[in-house]
Amino acid sequence: MGVEYDFLTWTSFPSSLKLVNDTTTIEYVWYKVAEGIPVKPGGKVTLECMGKQVGHFEKEKITGVRLDLMINGKWDPAGFMWLAFPQGTFDWKKISYPVSPKAVPEGATVMMVRLYAKGVKGDVAWFDDLKIYQDGVLIYSNSFDNWKPYLGAGLGAVAGGVGGYLATRKPEYALAALPVALVGGIVGRLIAKP
């Protein structure tokens, strides 16, 4: 399963996180987003995320977000909360769980957030604007922002413009910023790994 930032499909600028099934096996693939988020036993938790998917996600081919708790010093293997995306192909939609908040059990201290997918080759799922609340207070948020391509293009434009002008002292040579900005954006995109 490939994990990458998508700079063309998102609900909050500048990017979203994309999982692409590039294998022929139908196995769960996990991607850890965060670990060590403090929680209070007894506190009620809700989870929401913007999601989109394209492909053959049906029946046992599923995508979503899973929250795990560390209880008495060990990660609970059952998982505390699973936010499953609807089956099939759909455009961006807000997905939340549960209808009524779920209480954190005694002994729990921290939470881990993982994205998961189980599909067939070519299936793609996008995640954006992930939020976790405890007792109505935001305790974790991730918009999967990555500014590297934009920074690369901006710095490349500045370097190209300044370099073109300084080399010739002619303002029209500042147009050298355009190809250098393009190269900067491409380099930024190549190093923009989750």
To the nearest whole number, what is the mean pLDDT of the chain? Answer: 79
Q: What string of DSSP letters covers 1-70?
A: -EEEEESSS-SSTT-EEEEE--SSS---EEEEEEEEEE--TT-EEEEEEEEEEES---TT--EEEEEEEE
Conformation bin of residue 3: beta by default, left when phi > 0, alpha when psi is -120 to 50: beta
- 2-142: which CATH topology? Jelly Rolls (2.60.120)
Confidence of residue 128 (pLDDT cuts 50, 70, 90): very high
The pLDDT score that the predictor gives to residue 21 is 76
Share of the chain above pLDDT 70, in %: 67
Q: pLDDT per residue over 46-83, tens digit each? A: 999 999 988 766 666 577 888 999 998 888 888 888 88
Would you give the DSSP letter of residue 120? -
Q: How far is Cα of residue 172 from the mean position of the Cα atoms in its chain?
A: 41
Residues 6+ apart with CB under 8 A from 169: none
Residues of the chain with CATH 2.60.120.260: 2-142
The pLDDT score that the predictor gives to residue 116 is 82
Residue 52 or residue 154, greater confidence: 52
